Structure 1
């Protein structure tokens, strides 16, 4: 059974030649390619920063000592998917592929739109501690060809699935209808504190605080549902591999709902090939205001205590 707790990490087989590696709270995928050579595999997403050691250990278990892929493919460039990309690409001397609309965030031109903790839920509150900065991968990063095919991944098709980010992609293998969805959707409810521990398997909207265009996100899920996949593996949660997967995804797409409120719910971030163009104004954040208020009260109490002690010492 694929369903595991937050604290268990390891490899699981999603489909033929596709292995799912959980890294703390995010997934990477080791995907075999047909050449049958030591570098006949591709790494899809790289986890959070400093995940390179873990990925190297598992790659060696599967492919042998000093194994390296032919390429790294990123579904998008958020810190939990691209965190170890440059370290691994530099070690392996392989290219990093991403959609052209992700390029400004991977070449030092722009940060991502800031996260929105006001959408509510567990992940939204945790996101206050997460970065939204971009990376500079220099010459290591390449745009995915306009053909939507990556030479190092024969048999796989790139599906542009914007919404979570403007350049987000998913990967689909027609031969057995395997879908690597990235963060176009999740297979767990990240809004729930309990589900973040148990990882109860269910289709859910993409990670809410980092999704900057909910209209596009809904449209992307509907596109993925039309593929009728037999297996769906996402960036967060356990893979769906049962006989009802395609119908469950269709049902989710039909009933897809955005959060009730939030900075990007009514108005998306506007971006282009150079990065951020315009952002909707921030919305009221009651939690932040309470934290600021608590800090002011605590600071005032400390100042009063200090002044009182000073006065007592001088009397």
Structure 2
């Protein structure tokens, strides 16, 4: 796992598949996504290097139910007691109570890409079902000691949630938007029309820094790039 500081209070944890983010709060820490199963020890070690004990991790915000984002959530929750937050429509899947919604593949190219990604993850264990302490809906204000808003952005999954920090102009998009090699609509969506609408919704926010589930972060000038990409999206 590679750790990169992005702002004064945000660090990116990059894994072989995807990435997660640590956010230092006025009191304690929050984690946005958790990577594939098995990354909990690395994440706890990285937080320790940043001066955070396990009990300092107060919140884990899961952007959606895919296992490269929720895979280490149950182990981290057990180790830290952190509150687990996720979109209301995705919570039953994260808890292991419901199956994932099938992907609506855009064509053969996306099926082939999905097969390639799956082949690279064949030896990764299945995620352990994880409790969800708070089911999020659009516009929910999080009590994190700073303005933090949950934004419902369905389409990648039914309950995908972005996290917006309006005071600092930071947006965590999950997999609804990627940066590979340019800002683009995320792949493997359950409903492309919803995903496109969610892209436009995020592009309308006041954003200077955009942090994605996959692809390079945009620290500074992100809003302009999101709006330019949205204008080209059909």
* TM norm structure 2: 0.88
State whether structure 2 residue 189 is matched by structure 1 residue 215. Answer: no
In 2: Cα distance, 1:153 partner to 1:120 partner: 44
**What is the RMSD computed on CA atoms of the aligned residues?**
2.3
Match of 2:109 in 1: 120
Partner of 2:230: 253
Are 1:187 and 2:179 counterparts? yes
Could you tell me how far apart the structure 2 residues matched to 1:16 and 1:89 are?
Answer: 25
Note the 1:4-153 alignment, pairs <5 A.
9-35=1-27, 40-66=28-54, 68-115=56-103, 118-121=107-110, 123-129=113-119, 136-138=129-131, 140-144=132-136, 148-152=140-144
The structure whose residues are more often helix, as a share, is: 1
Q: Aligned pair 1:171/2:163, yes or no?
A: yes
Which is higher, the Rg of structure 1 or of structure 2?
1
Secondary structure of the corresponding residue to residue 123 of structure 1: helix
- Judged with a 3 Å threshold, the aligned counterparts in structure 2 of structure 1 residues 53 and 134 are, in CA distance, closer, same or farther, namely closer
Partner SS for 1:186 = strand
Matches of 1:25 and 1:45 in 2, distance apart?
A: 12
Asked if 1:205 corresponds to 2:199, the answer is no
Distance change in 2, residues 1:185/1:109 (3 Å): same
**Relative to structure 1, is the Cα distance of residues 127 and 110 closer, same or farther in structure 2, using a 3 angstrom cutoff?**
farther
* Partner Cα distance (2:196, 2:148) in 1: 23
Query: What is the SS of the residue equivalent to 1:72?
Result: strand
Q: After superposition, what is the alpha-carbon deviation per residue over 1:25-60, rounded to whole angstroms, capped at 9, x for unaligned?
A: 21101001113xxxx110110000101111111101
Task: Answer 1 or 2: which has greater strand percent.
Answer: 2
Q: Unpaired runs of 5+ in structure 2?
A: none
Q: Output one character per residue of 1:244-282: Cα deviation in whole Å (capped at 9) or x when no partner.
A: x2211111011124xxxxxxxxxxxxxxxxxxxxxxxxx
1:80 Cα shift? 0.2
Q: Distance in 2 between matches of 1:239 and 1:127?
A: 21
Structure 1 residue ranges, 4+ long, deviating more than 4 angstroms after superposition: 64-67, 115-119
For the residues of structure 2 that align with 1:153 and 1:106, how far apart are their CA atoms? Answer: 26
CA distance in structure 2 between the aligned counterparts of 1:136 and 1:27, rounded to whole angstroms: 20
Displacement of 1:11 in angstroms is 2.1
Deviation of 1:152 (Å): 3.2
Report the alpha carbon displacement of residue 228 of structure 1 after superposing the two structures with TM.
Answer: 3.4
TM-score (norm 1): 0.66
Which secondary structure state, in structure 2, belongs to the residue aligned with residue 114 of structure 1?
coil
SS in 2 for 1:42: strand
- Give, in whole Å, the separation in 2 of the partners of 1:215 and 1:180: 21
Cα drift, residue 16 of structure 1:
3.1
Length, aligned pairs only: 228
